[in-house]
């Protein structure tokens, strides 16, 4: 990527306040590029990754299980990323459509048409976040290649302790006893459940 290109991209994001102008401009360019799109996008992803951007930066939850765990700083940065990408990824007609008031059932011939239009509008609204999630995977790929990121499937597993294995087996037995599988009339069913629950409690087994 030439210095001129970097300067041009940075100029596109000059109004950014939370993220770097280059990243903001890159988001704009990625959303709009048509000529040599693959080459341009790959070059921008490479430059952004080298500048410290990682996949979770382009994900709403930053790779966490709950949005409640996400920091205010990430939320602010992600919102600005969405803004720059969103300003560029819609056609004028799509922008006009999104600016319309919320859909109302009374304006459609039937509920089916209303639901179909609602899904289409939701898909359109979600375009920036959906496409950014897809691009986030490219950052992940580069991180894997650099050895920064290891997939759970290929990461060495931590051997379970005997107490954990025993606890799981006891849980399985209790679930079996409390399930709907038939036992012979001679089997002391209630006593067996009580014994297993007692064993679990006495030995403080994980549940």
- Rounded Cα distance, 45 and 137, in Å: 11
For the cut 60, the answer to whether the pLDDT of residue 4 exceeds it is no
For the cut 60, the answer to whether the pLDDT of residue 65 exceeds it is yes
φ and ψ of 100, to 5 deg: -70, 155
**69-76 average pLDDT score:** 92
For the cut 90, the answer to whether the pLDDT of residue 116 exceeds it is yes
Res. 12 pLDDT band, cuts 50 70 90: very high
Q: Which residue has the tokens 């399930």?
A: 179
Res. 156 pLDDT band, cuts 50 70 90: low
Who's near 17: CB < 8 A, 6+ residues apart? 80
pTM, two decimal places: 0.68
Computed on alpha carbons and rounded to an integer, the radius of gyration of the chain in Å comes to 27
- Rounded Cα distance, 45 and 27, in Å: 10
- Rounded Cα distance, 142 and 163, in Å: 39
Percent of the chain surpassing pLDDT 70: 94
């Amino acid at each position: 990527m030439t210095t001129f290109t970097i300067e041009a991209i940075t100029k596109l994001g000059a109004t950014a306040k939370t993220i770097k102008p280059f990243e903001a401009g890159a988001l704009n360019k990625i959303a709009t590029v048509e000529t040599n799109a693959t080459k341009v996008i790959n070059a921008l992803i490479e430059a952004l990754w080298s500048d410290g951007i990682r996949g979770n930066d382009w994900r709403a939850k930053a790779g966490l299980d709950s949005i409640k765990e996400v920091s205010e700083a990430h939320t602010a940065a992600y919102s600005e990323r969405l803004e720059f990408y969103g300003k560029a990824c819609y056609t004028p007609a799509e922008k006009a459509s999104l600016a319309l008031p919320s859909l109302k059932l009374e304006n459609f011939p039937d509920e089916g048409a209303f639901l179909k239009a609602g899904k289409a509008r939701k898909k359109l609204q979600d375009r920036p976040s959906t496409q950014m999630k897809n691009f986030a995977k490219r950052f992940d790929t580069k991180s894997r290649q650099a050895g920064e990121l290891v997939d759970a499937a290929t990461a060495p597993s931590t051997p379970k302790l005997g107490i954990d294995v025993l606890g799981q087996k006891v849980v399985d037995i209790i679930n079996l006893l409390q399930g709907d599988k038939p036992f012979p009339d001679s089997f002391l069913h209630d006593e067996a459940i009580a014994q297993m629950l007692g064993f679990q409690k006495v030995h403080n087994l994980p549940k």
